[in-house]
Amino acid sequence: MNWDTVKGNWTQYKGMIKEQWGKLTDDHLDTIAGQRDQLAGKLQETYGISREEAEAQIRSFENRTLH
């Protein structure tokens, strides 16, 4: 599986995303709409982290969730 799976089943994955990153609101998740780069940007903005840290967190989420 890959991120296309998340994008294609966004409504199913939104709950998992919200569990992982609780500061993200439903409005954030609706705006992200399965776009990985949008998620990374929103994580940077919401959590005050670097792009590299956001990407690392997303990779960790992918490894736990998509495999």
Tens of pLDDT, residue by residue over 18-60, are: 999 999 999 999 999 999 999 999 999 999 999 999 999 999 9
Whole-angstrom distance, CA of residue 33 vs CA of residue 24: 13
Q: What is the domain count for the chain? A: 1
Coil, strand or helix: which one is 23?
coil
Whole-angstrom distance, CA of residue 43 vs CA of residue 58: 9
Q: Which domain holds residue 59?
A: 3-65
Specify the pLDDT at position 1.
Answer: 53
CATH number where 13 lies? 1.10.1470.10
pLDDT tops 90 at residue 67: no
Specify the pLDDT at position 66.
Answer: 77
* 50 vs 3: which has the higher pLDDT: 50
